Structure 1
Amino acid sequence: MSTLLHLDSSAIADGSVSREVSAAFRAAWQAQHPEGTVIYRDLAADQIPHLDAHGITATFLPAEARSAEQNAALALREELMAELEQADAIVIGTPMYNFTIPSTLKAWLDQVILMGRTAGEEPSAKGTPVTVIAARGGSYAPGAPREPYEFVTTYLEKVLGGGLGLEVDFIVPEFTMAAQVPALAEFVGQAAESKAQALEEAARRAKALAA
C-alpha cells in the first residue's frame, strides 16, 4: 500500500495558494491510490520544535547514557524520520517568507536530517520523489529583477536533493499577492494564470507518479 507524506507550512489557513495546490496534488494522488495512506502535517498549526542540544547530543549517546530530555527529543526525530522513510511520494507546500522558507519548514528539515541515516553517502529515503509547491507573492523567475533574492527553490533543491537524496520537482505559482498589493495590480491576470497552471501541473504530477 502506497504512502504519501504531505506537509504544509503556510501560516495562512484560508486563501493560501501553496495549500490549495498541495491539496490538489493530494486529491489527485488519492484518486490513484484509494487504499493508500496519507501522513499529513500542518507545520504552521502544529509546529515542530526547533532542533536543540538534546536532539543533537542524543544521537551520539547510547540509550543508557541519555537523559529523559534527550530521549524525548530523539523520539520526535525518530518519528519524523520514519514518516519520511516510509513515504513513497512527498508533497510540500511552502510560501516564500522574506526570500526563503518559513521557519516551521526549516524546523522539520533540521529534525529529519541526520548524517549516517537520512543524509550522507546512502540516504535512507534516497530516490523518493518530492514535489514542492513553492508559492511566492511576486516573481523571482529567471530574468526577473528579484531573481537574485530567490532562496526557496535554490535552498530546497540542495537540502532535499543533495542532502536527503530525494528526487525533487518544483511547481511555482507566482504573483500570489497581486490582488492585495497595489504595486502588483497589473499582474492579477498573470497570477490567476500561474495558479491555474500550478493546479493543473500538481494533478498531472501526482497521476504521473502513480503511473
Structure 2
Amino acid sequence: MATLLHIDSSVFPGSASASRTVTDAFRKVWEEQHPDGTVIYRDLAANPVPHITADAHTAGFAAPDTHTPEQAAAFAERVRLIEELERADAILIGAPMYNFAIPSTLKAWLDNVILAGRTAMNEESKAKGTPVTVVASRGGSYAPGTPREGYEYVQNYLEAILRDMLALDPDFIVPELTMAPHNPAMAELVPLFEASHSKALDAAATKAKELTERLAA
C-alpha cells in the first residue's frame, strides 16, 4: 500500500488558499488511485512543528547515549518527522510564496527533517529518490522574462534543498497571479490567473496519476 506525505503551509484555510486547492486536487486523485493507501497529513499553519533549537540541532551530531534530557526530547520530535519522510512513497507540499520566500512553518519542517548523515549527505538515505510534488503558488508572476524573475526564491530554494540536499525528486506546479481576484490594481490579470489556476488543477490530477503508474512499475 502506497503512503503519501502531504504537507500544507498556507495560512489561509480551504478554498481561500490557492495552494491548498491544488494540493487537494492532487490528493483526491491520489486517494482514488490508492483506496487502501495511507496519507500522512501535516497542516503546518494549524499545527506548526517546533522551530529548530540548539538542543535539537546539537543532538543530531551526538550519540544518543550522550544526549541531555533536553536534547533527547527535542531530537525525538525531529526523528518523528524524519520517519514520516522516510515512510513516504511520494510527497506533496503546498508552498505559497510569502514575501518572496516560503512560509516560516515550512522552513521549520525542513530544518527538522534535514539531518546530516541520515536524510542529507547520505547515499543510503531511505528517502533518496522519493518523488515530491510542490505546489508553489504566488500572488504575482516570477516566471522567466517577467520583471520580478530575480525575486523568485521559492522554487530555486526548494530545488536546492529537496534535490541537492535531500536527494529527493522534486517537480513543481506553479499557480500564479493568485492576488488578481483580490487586488483591484490587478483586475485585468484575472483571466490569466484563472487560466493559471485551471492549468495547475489539471497538472495536479495528471501528476497524481503519473506517480501511481510510476510507483506501480
Query: What TM-score comes out, normalization by structure 2 length?
Result: 0.95
Identify the residue that residue 12 of structure 1 maps to in structure 2. 12
Q: Determine if the alignment matches structure 1 residue 116 to structure 2 residue 135.
A: no
Distance 1:42 1:160 in 2: 19
Query: Which one is further off, 32-41 or 179-188?
Result: 179-188
Distance 1:210 1:192 in 2: 28
SS at match of 2:29: helix
Identify the residue that residue 187 of structure 2 maps to in structure 1. 185
Q: List structure 1 segments (4+ residues) > 3 angstroms apart after TM superposition.
A: none
Shift of 1:66: 1.5
SS at match of 1:12: coil
Q: Determine if the alignment matches structure 1 residue 160 to structure 2 residue 162.
A: yes
Identify the residue that residue 108 of structure 2 maps to in structure 1. 107
SS at match of 1:92: strand
SS at match of 2:40: strand
Post-superposition Cα deviations, 1:161-183, rounded to whole Å, max 9, x if no partner, equal 00100111000000000011122
Give the AA of the match of 2:58: T
Q: Determine if the alignment matches structure 1 residue 22 to structure 2 residue 34.
A: no
Distance 1:195 1:63 in 2: 47
Distance 1:39 1:120 in 2: 25
Post-superposition Cα deviations, 1:15-36, rounded to whole Å, max 9, x if no partner, equal 1010010011011111100000
- Percent identical: 59
Identify the residue that residue 75 of structure 2 maps to in structure 1. 74
Shift of 1:193: 0.8
Give the AA of the match of 2:211: L
Identify the residue that residue 62 of structure 2 maps to in structure 1. 61
Task: Give 5+ residue unaligned stretches, structure 1.
Answer: none
Of 135, 141, 144, 1:142 maps to 144
Distance 2:63 2:115 in 1: 16
Query: What TM-score comes out, normalization by structure 1 length?
Result: 0.98
Distance 1:59 1:94 in 2: 26
SS at match of 2:86: helix
Shift of 1:61: 2.5
Give the AA of the match of 1:177: M
Q: How many residues align?
A: 211
Shift of 1:151: 0.2
CA RMSD in angstroms comes to 0.9
Identify the residue that residue 127 of structure 1 maps to in structure 2. 129
Give the AA of the match of 2:94: G
Shift of 1:43: 0.5
